[in-house]
Amino acid sequence: MNEKQSNLILPTHVGIIMDGNGRWAKKRGLPRYVGHTYGAQTFRKITRYISSKGVKVLTLYAFSTENWKRPPEEVGAIMKIFRQYLTDALTDFRDDEIKLVFIGDKSAFDSHMIELINETEEISKNRKGMLLNIAMNYGGRNEILYAVKNLCADVKAGIIQPNDITDKDIQSRLYTANIPDPDLIIRTGGEHRLSNFLLYQSAYSEFYSTETLWPDFNASDFDKAIEEYNQRNRRFGGV
């Protein structure tokens, strides 16, 4: 790390929209699903790098609730990669002390996948390093709906009165309960939209977009995002 980088302020929580796997493969005349295979390799490398930098929380957008609309062969390939990742993750990141949590609606997955998810979370729950949130079958609107339904159930049970509901009551019922909001959201692939990612939590997040497609995203690209983040003036609605 050079002197310039050592003086940079590091975000506590970084979110990444991992976009461009399919386009990366198409540019090379390959089936779209091949891009997801290479994207999974980038996922491992960049996660370790970000952890080594000292980021406390990393949330990766892996598969959205809308991604089920993609061609069946592509969805099938993604699920196969995810299943293999879960199998590997039982020991992966162990030496890095990375704690894994999966956010999203797990009910859409088969019982074996859910069992692997739960086992992975259980094995890593006492690790002391970076918290890695993997958003699978995740959608920001669905997450807000999930929180509202839980809040309504508590109102019905008399646990809380409607007039007493605060922002913290909603936050505590999100998938990301007790996790600080993202300071920085990075999107690869050149698009400039959130695509239903952390809608509630990103109210004051800084947004950084890069033309680099996800399989090509590397440590240097991440460092550029951090340098840009340090140029921002975060006022949080103030002056």
- CA–CA separation, 177 and 170 (whole Å): 9
- Asked about 19 being catalytic, the answer comes back as yes
Of the residues 7, 67, 167, 230, which is catalytic?
67
Of the residues 19, 133, 183, 196, which is catalytic?
19
- Inter-residue contact 121 to 102 (CB < 8 Å): yes
74 alpha carbon, distance to own chain's centre: 20
Nearest CA among 167, 108, 116, 97 for reference residue 136: 108
To 10 degrees, the CA torsion angle through 201, 207, 209, 214?
-30
- Asked about 163 being catalytic, the answer comes back as no
- Inter-residue contact 220 to 228 (CB < 8 Å): no
Residue type present at position 225: A
Catalytic residues, by residue number, are 19, 67
